[in-house]
Amino acid sequence: MASSSTQLLEWLDKYTFPVEGKFQDKNYAQKIASFFLDQLLQNGTTTALVLTTVYPQSVDALFEEAELRNMRIIKCFSQSKI
């Protein structure tokens, strides 16, 4: 958890970046995309704007899984690398 005494970059290095790094593995990305999209559908959502990772294979996995479900996904990502 973030706290007022923790600097943002330290927190990102400890929590966010290690998890995001897992999305380099397309199999992992597909598993998470499948779960995420199933949850959207279970809650009646068929179209979503999704902030993706910087890893192209994870974006491909998301779109492939969405296509299997006839869902519309709008991707939003940063061109800059961390």
pLDDT digit string, tens, across residues 51-70: 888 899 999 999 999 999 99
- For helices 56-68 and 26-42, the axis angle rounded to 10 degrees is 40
Please tell me the predicted confidence (pLDDT) of residue 80: 54
DSSP helix/strand/coil, 59: helix
pLDDT in tens, 3-59: 555 688 998 899 999 999 999 999 999 999 999 999 999 999 999 888 888 899 999
| pTM for this model (two decimals) | 0.77
How many CB atoms neighbour CB 34 within 10 A? Answer: 17
Residue 1, pLDDT above cutoff 70: no
Is-contact 66 72, C-beta < 8 A? yes
- Residue 1 makes CB contacts below 8 A (sequence gap 6+) with none
What amino acid is encoded at 40 in this protein?
Answer: L
Nearest to 46 by CA among 35, 37, 55: 37
